Amino acid sequence: MSKNIIIIGSGIAGLSSGCYAQMNGYNTHIVEQHSLPGGLCTAWERNGYKIDGCIHWLVGSSPESSFYKYWEELHALKETEIVQHEIFTTIETGTPEDKKIFTVYTNADRLNANMKKIAPEDTAEIDTFTALIKKFSSFEIITDTPPELMGLGDFFNMMKMMKPYMREFRQYRKLTIKDYAERFSNSHLREGITAILDMPDFSFMVLLFMLGWQHAKKAGYPIGGSLPFARRIENRYLSLGGSIQYNSRVKRILTRKNRAVGVELDSGQKQYADIIISAADGYSTIYSMLDGKYTNKKIDRMYERLPLFQPFFMLSLGVRRDFSSQPPMIVRLLDSPIVLEGKTHHKIGFQHYCHDPSLAPDGASLLEIMYTSDYDYWKNCAQTPDLYRKNKAAIAETLIGCLENYYPGIRKEIEMIDTATPMTFERYTSNRNGTYEGWLLTPKTLTMRIKKTLPGLKNFYMAGQWVQPGGGLPSVVKSGRDLISLLCHKDKKILKISPS
Ligand SMILES: Cc1cc2nc3c(=O)[nH]c(=O)nc-3n(C[C@H](O)[C@H](O)[C@H](O)COP(=O)(O)OP(=O)(O)OC[C@H]3O[C@@H](n4cnc5c(N)ncnc54)[C@H](O)[C@@H]3O)c2cc1C
């Protein structure tokens, strides 16, 4: 008889777990607190604009990438056009009096030429940097075997795949982006490299992978954006026979004699299954849904100490102006600094989505300004709803004022304004502190492995960004696939992939 599984959360990890489980003869039912699939991979509509809340680049978007087959298995890119950007971002560096434009071309040779124009004195390091990007453009150490099942053969195979990169990996593995930037003598380049992702403590290796995949055109943008992407995986799941129950928040995971046996919803309804998978926020799964009964020092320390991707404040604007001639992402230096959430900012970054005509009416553009925000600031504001609304509006006004300086007249062309704070991300997805990718990828977490089970609890598993440091769509899909491989292995089956 097939086993029944309840999956908590219809984010991409929950949907992935559901699809692979259905393909392998398990009966699954997803319980989701929101009214939509996708979790963080989402979008919302306002005044004729679709505000995309997630995908900027999707690793594995081209058939040349080894990851592509996973998207194919889930029909995630079916009949979808992919856009490859020529420019990743442009960053204004220096001061208003001594300003340079650092254009991060996705092609490493064009990037090399642009960097040398800014800093000919750094030629040697620039050549090293772009040679590293090219080298890591083929870096894809992916195997179908989940890490938990890797035997000696898989290990040797991995080592063989790693071998061409080992020297560089050893050399750069411990560096953050900020550390690496120090190698340039030119201050514009130091500043520009650090600002590419605006996360100075992020692993330098991961920056190399990202720029490498952009160079190889393996990480494009799927037209339609995040919600249609999630909907395609939802359709795949439903067509495989799975079921989803929306608007249903799990309050508690039910256990009996240290076995997970079911879930209790906010409504009081109880549902039972042979296996429970949580593809929801890690902290609330462990410390709230399971009352902190199945943890240990290692897990507690992880949740106490490891840094998370800091959440965003996101201002979206629908503007009756065509931005298609502009680079997709621009970081501008401000003539005079601004104060947001009590902190001084010398730059603002924004992006437009003119490459995706489905997001804005003809002749108009969707613009998004995002900056790294402070969860506690918004948590405090949210105690007083009026203050929360007032502060959101004041920040929107400050940011619009900055745009007006660069694009005179734009204020009058704004047709739609939408603001999202870390509290918004938390409210819709329950992710701790409104984080958008879980554990920050630092040199320390880069090679960290997190178990998909909890100590002392049987028939319970986790999938998604809380068991996969760094999160991101490809890795959460893989975590769902790996988890079902594990279940198949336990049930003495080999993972099957259903072609249709
Ligand atoms: C602004 C932004 C930009 C991003 N850009 C990219 C990008 O360009 N490329 C990329 O690869 N990744 C990107 N990401 C990251 C990516 O979206 C996430 O890492 C990934 O979607 C996480 O998926 P998940 O399924 O693990 O978790 P989630 O998406 O958080 O899904 C968890 C689900 O569980 C549900 N849930 C939680 N608690 C409960 C409960 N108690 N009961 C029932 N349901 C519950 C939630 O509602 C949610 O649907 C971005 C994210 C954001 C926010």
DSSP string, 327-343: -SEEEEEEEEEEEETTE
- For residue 380, being part of any structural domain is answered with yes
Q: What is the mean pLDDT of residues 356-366?
A: 97
State which of 190, 216, 242 marks the end of a domain. 216
Task: Count CB-CB contacts under 10 A for residue 498.
Answer: 13
Same domain, 115 and 187: yes
Q: What is the mean pLDDT of residues 247-262?
A: 98
- For residue 158, being part of any structural domain is answered with yes
With a cut of 80, say whether residue 254 has pLDDT above it: yes
pLDDT value of position 119: 97
pLDDT value of position 96: 86
pLDDT value of position 283: 98
- For residue 348, being part of any structural domain is answered with yes
Q: What is the mean pLDDT of the chain?
A: 96
Domain count, the chain: 3
Is the C-beta atom of 11 inside 6 A of ligand 1?
Answer: yes
pLDDT value of position 335: 87
- For residue 436, being part of any structural domain is answered with no
- For residue 71, being part of any structural domain is answered with no
- Cα separation, 469 vs 483, whole angstroms: 15
pLDDT value of position 388: 97
pLDDT confidence tier of residue 334, bands split at 50, 70 and 90: very high
pLDDT confidence tier of residue 499, bands split at 50, 70 and 90: confident
Same domain, 139 and 206: yes
Same domain, 480 and 408: no
Same domain, 346 and 401: yes
73 C-alpha to ligand 1 centroid (Å):
20
Query: Can you give the residue range of the structural domain that contains 126?
Result: 109-216
pLDDT confidence tier of residue 38, bands split at 50, 70 and 90: very high
Write the CA distances from 261 to 67, 211, 272, integer angstroms.
34, 45, 6
Same domain, 337 and 402: yes
Q: Whose CA is nearest to atom 2 of ligand 1?
A: 54
State which of 187, 216, 245 marks the end of a domain. 216
Task: Show the tokens assigned to 210.
Answer: 């990202």
To test ligand 1's pocket by mutation, which of 40, 375, 433 has the most ligand atoms within 8 angstroms of CB?
40
Same domain, 146 and 292: no
- For residue 100, being part of any structural domain is answered with no
Q: What is the mean pLDDT of residues 442-470?
A: 94
As separate numbers, helices (DSSP H) first and strands (DSSP E) second, the chain gives 17, 20
Residue type at position 491 = D
To test ligand 1's pocket by mutation, which of 286, 350, 353, 437 has the most ligand atoms within 8 angstroms of CB?
437
With a cut of 80, say whether residue 409 has pLDDT above it: yes
55 C-alpha to ligand 1 centroid (Å):
11
CATH of residue 232's domain is 3.50.50.60
90 near 329, Cβ under 8 Å?
yes
Is the C-beta atom of 220 inside 6 A of ligand 1?
Answer: no
- For residue 390, being part of any structural domain is answered with yes
Task: Show the tokens assigned to 161.
Answer: 């795949």
State which of 387, 420, 453 marks the end of a domain. 420
- As to burial, measured by CB atoms within 10 angstroms (0-12 exposed, 13-18 middle, 19+ buried), residue 230 is buried
- Cα separation, 499 vs 491, whole angstroms: 22
- For residue 485, being part of any structural domain is answered with yes
Q: Whose CA is nearest to atom 45 of ligand 1?
A: 9
- Cα separation, 40 vs 19, whole angstroms: 18
Q: Whose CA is nearest to atom 1 of ligand 1?
A: 54
Same domain, 301 and 449: yes
pTM of the model: 0.96
3-class DSSP assignment, residue 22: helix
283 C-alpha to ligand 1 centroid (Å):
14
pLDDT confidence tier of residue 87, bands split at 50, 70 and 90: very high
pLDDT value of position 492: 96
Same domain, 320 and 375: yes
42 C-alpha to ligand 1 centroid (Å):
8
